Amino acid sequence: MGERRAVITGIGCVTPIGIGAEGLWEGLRKGESAIGAIDRFAPEGLRSRIAAQIRSFDAGDYMDRKRAHRTDRYSQLAIASGRMALQHAGLDPASVDPDRAGVFMGSALGGIAYAEEQCGQFMSGGYRSVSPTLGFSVFGGAASCNMAMEFGFTGPNETNAMSCASGAVAIGRALQAIRRGEADAMLAGGSEAPLSPLSFGAFDLLRAMSTRNEEPAAASRPFDRRRDGFVMGEGAAVLVIEEEGHARARGARVLAELSGFGVSNDAHHMSAPLPCGTQAQRAMRLALSDADMLQEEVGYINAHGSSTPLNDGTESRVIRSVFGSRPVAVSGTKGLYGHPLGASGAIEAAITTLALSRGWLPPTANLEDPDDEAADFDLVTGAGRETSRLGAALSNSYGFGGINATLAFRKR
């Protein structure tokens, strides 16, 4: 078997700034933050009372009412994103050998918000008040399994739970499955629906989230000197990743090549990055090596840019260690849609793919005064940046537990 290459042919997503590939793109170009006061529940007693919520989503628009009734929001976002990705790719699920098509997803918390809701039902009304779907809705694998059933894909299937890097890890694993010949087409991405009192409150207790409650639209500010924490969000994104020959044979439009993946672990701390960043550096270098890509080829990095004091400073040192003084455009896009935990790496992979295919780099929202670590970077700000020479890009994702993941993309 010759070298098998993986290409991205479709994007589907549900995010606070837009739904579907075009909705996401429009939200990026518009450049308005979707972060506001949280109204999904009463946030009394919490330090942080802001979030990036999806305001308009009806699961019934993307699946039949029976499946919508039997799935929680976490799985609904995943299924909807998968359906939109297939439509965007022009790929009819029935036209694919089901054994050669699979689903890899990632999520930090899976169906925990639904479990929390059902726990309240149990406490007030006992066992008979609990939904009979609870047992098969809350486990992490519900996303990829429900997607497999929805689209009839019987190939490789898994949902990883590698915290905020899980969506990127799922996409990297899909690349590996394509290369190894395990599949010809994969749906891969991440889904997260964490906006419930206990889930949200747990992160509030860690003092990891922004308390800029009076100006929520300016709260998430990657690489800015005045950043004070991340803003929790929700969402999902799924890519259609195909073996290049498979895509070409059906006349598919190729958006970009998924060319490399690197992953490592700090083995340092559950919630703080390794200050020297050596393992995050290694993940970036592994992705470059896996892609057979020189660092001189990279014209853009979509940073993890969580807007936390520790993460952004460490990521700045990591990027500098890999790229030295060579100017490379960098932006952190979470200022627009917050941090949807395990879905963030997938959403940012979608953004990076769109940037490559359409020749425009999204800005770092709310960046007014770069901190010392990032002051000499070529940070994309303002209204973004048109570019006709972008040939390769990276996307970084980091998560609790010290997980580091980097994806490498080429323009095709």
Active site residues: 164
Nearest-angstrom CA–CA distance, 40 and 291: 42
* Integer angstrom CA distances of residue 36 from 45, 53, 197, 211, 223: 18, 8, 16, 12, 20
Pairing of strands 235-243, 185-192: antiparallel
- Count other Cβ atoms within 10 Å, centred on residue 4: 16
Outline where DSSP puts E strands in 85-125: 101-106
One-letter amino acid at 307 equals S
SS3 sequence of 252-292: CCCCEEEEEEEEEECCCCCCCCCCCCHHHHHHHHHHHHHCC
At 330, is the secondary structure helix, strand, or coil?
Answer: strand
As a whole number of angstroms, the distance between CA 72 and CA 344 comes to 19
Contact yes or no for 85/11 (Cβ under 8 A): yes
